[in-house]
Structure 1
């Protein structure tokens, strides 16, 4: 009986430590203060970069200095690394930046964060992330690719979307469509307004079809993150100097609005 009790205790302990890992998905955020800017609007936008769990709004993971941070405008890439400001959140490093919009064009802001070591999963995580801001009504350029190793090519204009609209995209790795790739979707649950009834509601999980395409209907107004996840072709050395796998994520953030 004593051995049985010990076994059950160890089993329950293992389950308690295991299930939170199943529920929690890391996402790199890149959120602009506005995703559509008209001529009469404030021209300065603020971009917020945090590595966290969007639906649960916690914990915040420590970010190293990004390797790339910029904006793609009319086929021109502009380096914005010098504009980054370090911001402490939950005692962890996050970043923000300010950008002045001057051109009528779609602006694709992007970041390649420093690799994040996730000891619990014994792997590094690199989430190549982008978001599109529409400036002054041009509405051109939203489907251009940044050129990341893993990236989502939008098939639906990623702004001006109503709640309930379907977002569609193609997952591309090194420029080629990825069939049956895993897609994780999470809502930016600001102020924890959404009550989560059970763990499976935290992260929505899809797969691309044979052509690398996916679709998802967004049921609530606000920001939504789509993360295409694949294993990298090369390994990295963990803190002990041993080679480990690298999770590559191609992320895009999309905003929806309620009809009034």
Structure 2
């Protein structure tokens, strides 16, 4: 086709519509992350033996928006006492007109408590996929510091190679991405900081950090700011799922772990 002023104008108009549509999508410049955030990750005599966990599906670095959560499929904990189903502890909480969940738990003995969540699959029409983020976080109970690397046995999971609590800002966090219990070579991991409103990203690439695991599925990342950091290895599911229209679509399986860094003071 010959390039004419009319053709060029039509191209610019079409391109502008595409870009406008893309930028209008929720999360166009930030990633979906399933949050599983405890109100404290280390319990001691001063804090007591109770922990509250908040579950939201959102864009953490962008500060939102929240996505509506259906009732989780599984919620539980692996602890010194074994595996415990905590589904009955879930409480639905509405925030900004969206469903989120929370749960309270009482630590019964010293040890590390690996909380895990399998949310209901979320349909993301902008990406044409169902999203399931298998998420976990570790809480230390009374200084035992044992069991933090226990695997839950989720379909996709991150095994921490660094104790995932008691971390200073700037510490290097390392983990292994696994699927069906086996390392995933060269897996891609998205990393986001849970923004408290104090930081504005200077450009879109700063919102979601992207790293790759090595040939053994091992990744590392130095956390540059205090707060909660989410590490999400995004893998393709083996089987399609039905979207709300009843169509077979791909599944994004996320292996996600949350860790907290603190400033030295």
TM-score, normalisation: structure 2: 0.95
In the TM superposition, what is the alpha-carbon distance from 1:203 to its structure 2 partner? 0.2
In the TM superposition, what is the alpha-carbon distance from 1:39 to its structure 2 partner? 2.0
Residues 150-193 of structure 1: CA distance to partner in whole angstroms, max 9, x if unpaired? 00000000000000000000000001100011100000002x11
- Give the conservation status (yes or no) of the 8 Å contact 2:169–2:261: yes
**Residue of structure 2 aligned with 1:152, choices 158, 170, 176:** 158
Identify the residue that residue 7 of structure 1 maps to in structure 2: 11
Residues 1-260 of structure 1: pairs in structure 2 closer than 5 A:
1-19=5-23, 22-74=28-80, 76-190=82-196, 192-260=197-265
In the TM superposition, what is the alpha-carbon distance from 1:17 to its structure 2 partner? 2.5
TM-score, normalisation: structure 1: 0.96
Give the number of equivalent residue pairs: 259
In structure 1, list runs of 5 or more residues that go unmatched: none
Whole-Å Cα distance in 2 between the matches of residues 81 and 22 of structure 1? 32
Whole-Å Cα distance in 1 between the matches of residues 8 and 81 of structure 2? 66
In the TM superposition, what is the alpha-carbon distance from 1:75 to its structure 2 partner? 6.0
RMSD of aligned residue pairs (Cα, Å): 1.2
Whole-Å Cα distance in 1 between the matches of residues 173 and 39 of structure 2? 21
Q: Single out whichever of 202-211 and 38-47 deviates more from structure 2.
A: 38-47
Whole-Å Cα distance in 2 between the matches of residues 2 and 61 of structure 1? 42
Q: Single out whichever of 20-29 and 207-216 deviates more from structure 2.
A: 20-29
Whole-Å Cα distance in 2 between the matches of residues 168 and 233 of structure 1? 26
- Give the conservation status (yes or no) of the 8 Å contact 2:175–2:218: yes
Structure 1 45/70 Cα, relative in aligned 2: closer, same or farther at 3 Å? same
In the TM superposition, what is the alpha-carbon distance from 1:83 to its structure 2 partner? 0.8
Residues 80-101 of structure 1: CA distance to partner in whole angstroms, max 9, x if unpaired? 1111111111211100111112
Whole-Å Cα distance in 2 between the matches of residues 39 and 136 of structure 1? 7
Whole-Å Cα distance in 2 between the matches of residues 152 and 123 of structure 1? 22
